[in-house]
Amino acid sequence: MYVTNDQSPTFFQSLIVCATMDPLRLQHAITDAVHQVNKDQAVTQLKTLDQIKAESMAGNRLNSIMLGSFAAVALLLSAIGIYGVISYSVVQRTHEIGIRTALGANSVGVMGLILRSGMLMTIVGLAIGLLGALALTRLIATLLFGVGARDPITMAGVGTILAVVAAFASYVPARRAAKVDPVICLRYE
């Protein structure tokens, strides 16, 4: 197809060849055919359609990889933060847990108490995060492909993943609190 430069100004020319065999095996034949028409015509950058498509998607792929990496780091940091806050809370409540155990609370009840407090903080954090995500959807809408900026399935999936991570981060301090010896806790007060 020939289009004049006045109709469609471009700074390069392309020749598209449809083949039933491996296009890379046709490089010499294509170059020879072009040189038969004009021996001074340079033939450069012979690429398959898959290579051109991969090159055009490289920027989007890099953005996706970077966003995924930052999301993984954010998930790890949130798990570490939740673990730290709940561990600190357990240490602060060691005397209370010792008194509860001395008065007859079993380890399941103590674990439930710590897990409930951790999950309550998680639910409050998820609600604040959901409101923030909904407020900032316009900023990230251009980076999302195939997913709406306010996709309820994605929001629910992310919330579920964070809740599961918070539950695991809460479990370790809760288990440690369940093993608290009331005599030792009360002796140091």
Q: Domain locations in the chain?
A: 1-56, 59-188
Interatomic CA distance for residues 20 and 32, integer angstroms: 19
Q: How high is the pLDDT of residue 121?
A: 86
Predicted local confidence at residue 55, as pLDDT? 82
pLDDT of residue 189: 56
The amino acid that residue 134 corresponds to is L
- The pLDDT of residue 155 is 82
| pLDDT, position 73 | 92
Q: What is the DSSP letter of 78?
A: H
The reported pLDDT for the residue numbered 159 is 87
Per-position pLDDT tens, the chain of length 189: 667 777 777 766 777 778 888 777 888 888 888 889 888 877 777 787 788 888 888 887 888 889 889 988 988 888 888 888 888 888 888 788 888 888 888 888 888 888 898 889 889 989 998 898 888 877 776 666 666 667 788 788 888 888 888 888 888 888 888 887 777 767 655
Region label for 147, one of left (φ > 0), alpha (ψ between -120 and 50) or beta (otherwise): beta
What lies within 8 Å, CB to CB, of 145 at 6+ separation is 60, 64
pTM given for the model: 0.60
